[in-house]
A and B are shown apart, each in its own frame.
Chain A
Amino acid sequence: MQLSTSFLAQVTPVEPSPVQAALTQLFPADNFVLLGVILALPLIGAFVNGVFGKRLGREAVTLMALSAVGLSFVASLVAFFMVSSARVGDELVRFQWTAWEWFRLSTAGDFSQTPLNVAFSLDALSAVMILVITGIGSLIHLYSSKYMEEDPGYYRFFTYLNLFIFSMLVLVLGDSLPILFVGWEGVGLCSYLLIGFWFDKSENASAGKKAFITNRIGDFGLLVAMGLLLYFVGALDWSGIESNKEALLAPVKLWPIGNEVPLARILPEDAGKWLNQPRYVSGATLVGLFLFLGCAGKSAQIPLYVWLPDAMAGPTPVSALIHAATMVTAGVYLMCRMAGVFVLSPTAMFVVALVGGFTALFAATIALVQNDIKKVLAYSTVSQLGYMFLGVGVGAFVAGFFHVLTHAFFKACLFLGAGSVIHAMHARIHDTDQSQDMRYMGGLRKFMPVTFLTFAAAWAAIVGFPLTSGFFSKDEILLKANTSFVAGTSVAQGDFTWPAWGHWVLWGLGAAAAILTAFYMTRLFIGIFFGEFRGWTIVRGYQAAVHGHADAGHGGHDDHADEHGHAHEQPGPDMQGPTPHESPWQMTLPLVVLGILSLAGGFLSAHLFHVHPLDDFLGPVFGDAVQRVKLIKGHETRTIPLVAFAVVAFLVGSLVAYWIYLQAKGEPARKLAAQFPRLHSLLIDKWRVDELYEETIIGAVDSLADMCVWFDKWVVDGILARLTTAIISLSGTALRQLQTGRLQTYAAAMVVGLAGVGWFLLTPRAAAHTSADHSSGRYEITAAPGFGYGYRWDSDGDGQWDAEDFGEQRTIAFSLQTEETRTIRLEVRNAFGRTAEREFTFSRPKPDKSGYVAAATGVGAENLKNAHEGVGMKQ
Chain B
Amino acid sequence: MALDLVVEHYVLLSGLIFLIGAVGFVTRRNVLVQLMSIELMLNSVNLALVAFNRQHGGAMNGQMFAFFVIAVAAAEVAVGLAIVLQFYRLRATVNSDEADGLRH
Q: Which residues of A contact B (CB under 8 A)?
A: 739-744, 747-748, 751
Contact between A741 and B103 (Cβ–Cβ < 8 Å)? yes
* Cross-chain contact of A742 among B22, B97, B102 (Cβ < 8 A): B97
Other 19 A-B pairs with CB < 8 A, given A743-B96, A747-B26: A740-B103, A741-B97, A741-B99, A741-B100, A741-B102, A741-B103, A742-B96, A742-B97, A742-B100, A743-B34, A743-B99, A744-B25, A744-B26, A744-B29, A744-B96, A747-B22, A747-B25, A748-B26, A751-B26
Asked whether B55 is an interface residue with its Cβ less than 8 Å from the other chain, the reply is no
Residues of chain A with a CB closer than 8 A to B102's CB: 741
Residues of chain B with a CB closer than 8 A to A743's CB: 34, 96-97, 99
Q: How far is the CB of A864 from chain B (nearest CB, A)?
A: 41
* Bound Cα distance A747, B96 (Å): 12
Contact between B99 and A744 (Cβ–Cβ < 8 Å)? no
Residues of chain A with a CB closer than 8 A to B104's CB: 741
List 6 tightest A-B contacts by C-beta distance, closest first. Answer: A741-B100, A741-B103, A743-B96, A744-B26, A747-B26, A747-B25
Q: How far is the CB of A744 from chain B (nearest CB, A)?
A: 5
* Bound Cα distance A744, B26 (Å): 5
Residues of chain B with a CB closer than 8 A to A751's CB: 22, 26
Q: How far is the CB of B100 from chain A (nearest CB, A)?
A: 3
Residues of chain A with a CB closer than 8 A to B27's CB: 744
Tally inter-chain residue pairs, CB-CB below 8 A. 26
Contact A739 to B96, CB < 8 A, known contacts A744-B26, A747-B25, A747-B26 = no
Q: How far is the CB of A831 from chain B (nearest CB, A)?
A: 14
Q: How far is the CB of A832 from chain B (nearest CB, A)?
A: 14
Interface size on B, residues (CB 8 A): 13
Q: How far is the CB of A450 from chain B (nearest CB, A)?
A: 79
Interface residues of B in 11-45 (CB under 8 A from A): 22, 25-27, 29, 34
* Bound Cα distance A748, B24 (Å): 11
B76-104 to A contact mask, C-beta < 8 Å, 1/0: 00000000000000000000110110111
* Bound Cα distance A115, B99 (Å): 66
Contact between A739 and B103 (Cβ–Cβ < 8 Å)? yes
Output the nearest chain B residue to A745 by Cβ-Cβ distance.
B26
Output the nearest chain A residue to B96 by Cβ-Cβ distance.
A743
* Bound Cα distance A469, B32 (Å): 99
A-B contact pairs, 26 of them (CB 8 A): A739-B103, A740-B103, A741-B97, A741-B99, A741-B100, A741-B102, A741-B103, A741-B104, A742-B96, A742-B97, A742-B100, A743-B34, A743-B96, A743-B97, A743-B99, A744-B25, A744-B26, A744-B27, A744-B29, A744-B96, A747-B22, A747-B25, A747-B26, A748-B26, A751-B22, A751-B26
* Bound Cα distance A743, B29 (Å): 8
Residues of chain A with a CB closer than 8 A to B29's CB: 744
Output the nearest chain B residue to A744 by Cβ-Cβ distance.
B26
Residues of chain B with a CB closer than 8 A to A740's CB: 103
* Bound Cα distance A742, B103 (Å): 10
* Bound Cα distance A743, B25 (Å): 9
Output the nearest chain A residue to B27 by Cβ-Cβ distance.
A744
Residues of chain B with a CB closer than 8 A to A748's CB: 26
Q: How far is the CB of B5 from chain A (nearest CB, A)?
A: 24
* Bound Cα distance A739, B101 (Å): 12
* Bound Cα distance A751, B97 (Å): 19
* Bound Cα distance A330, B27 (Å): 84
* Bound Cα distance A664, B27 (Å): 110
* Bound Cα distance A743, B34 (Å): 10
Output the nearest chain B residue to A751 by Cβ-Cβ distance.
B22
Residues of chain A with a CB closer than 8 A to B34's CB: 743
Output the nearest chain A residue to B104 by Cβ-Cβ distance.
A741
Q: How far is the CB of B28 from chain A (nearest CB, A)?
A: 8
* Bound Cα distance A748, B26 (Å): 7
Residues of chain B with a CB closer than 8 A to A744's CB: 25-27, 29, 96
* Bound Cα distance A748, B22 (Å): 9
Output the nearest chain A residue to B37 by Cβ-Cβ distance.
A747
Output the nearest chain B residue to A743 by Cβ-Cβ distance.
B96
* Bound Cα distance A743, B100 (Å): 9
* Bound Cα distance A748, B23 (Å): 9
Residues of chain A with a CB closer than 8 A to B22's CB: 747, 751
* Bound Cα distance A715, B26 (Å): 50
Residues of chain A with a CB closer than 8 A to B97's CB: 741-743
* Bound Cα distance A751, B27 (Å): 13
Tell me which of A739, A740, A743, A751 has the highest count of chain B C-beta atoms within 10 A of its own C-beta: A743
Q: How far is the CB of A611 from chain B (nearest CB, A)?
A: 89
Q: How far is the CB of B61 from chain A (nearest CB, A)?
A: 18
Q: How far is the CB of A153 from chain B (nearest CB, A)?
A: 51
* Bound Cα distance A748, B103 (Å): 18
* Bound Cα distance A744, B37 (Å): 12
Output the nearest chain A residue to B101 by Cβ-Cβ distance.
A741
* Bound Cα distance A743, B104 (Å): 15
Residues of chain A with a CB closer than 8 A to B26's CB: 744, 747-748, 751
Residues of chain A with a CB closer than 8 A to B25's CB: 744, 747
Q: How far is the CB of B13 from chain A (nearest CB, A)?
A: 20
* Bound Cα distance A741, B100 (Å): 5
* Bound Cα distance A741, B26 (Å): 13
* Bound Cα distance A264, B96 (Å): 83
Q: How far is the CB of A736 from chain B (nearest CB, A)?
A: 9
Residues of chain B with a CB closer than 8 A to A747's CB: 22, 25-26
* Bound Cα distance A741, B29 (Å): 12
* Bound Cα distance A751, B37 (Å): 14
Tell me which of A739, A741, A748, A751 has the highest count of chain B C-beta atoms within 10 A of its own C-beta: A741
* Bound Cα distance A742, B26 (Å): 10
* Bound Cα distance A741, B95 (Å): 12
* Bound Cα distance A743, B32 (Å): 13
* Bound Cα distance A743, B97 (Å): 7
Output the nearest chain A residue to B102 by Cβ-Cβ distance.
A741
Q: How far is the CB of A750 from chain B (nearest CB, A)?
A: 9
Residues of chain A with a CB closer than 8 A to B99's CB: 741, 743
Q: How far is the CB of A570 from chain B (nearest CB, A)?
A: 67
Residues of chain B with a CB closer than 8 A to A739's CB: 103
* Bound Cα distance A644, B100 (Å): 98
Q: How far is the CB of B90 from chain A (nearest CB, A)?
A: 15
* Bound Cα distance A232, B27 (Å): 82
* Bound Cα distance A56, B33 (Å): 68
Q: How far is the CB of A405 from chain B (nearest CB, A)?
A: 75
Q: How far is the CB of A439 from chain B (nearest CB, A)?
A: 72
Q: How far is the CB of B30 from chain A (nearest CB, A)?
A: 11
Residues of chain B with a CB closer than 8 A to A742's CB: 96-97, 100
* Bound Cα distance A747, B41 (Å): 13
* Bound Cα distance A739, B27 (Å): 18
* Bound Cα distance A752, B73 (Å): 23
Output the nearest chain A residue to B22 by Cβ-Cβ distance.
A751
Q: How far is the CB of A236 from chain B (nearest CB, A)?
A: 60
Q: How far is the CB of B79 from chain A (nearest CB, A)?
A: 16
* Bound Cα distance A742, B22 (Å): 15
Output the nearest chain B residue to A754 by Cβ-Cβ distance.
B22
* Bound Cα distance A751, B96 (Å): 18
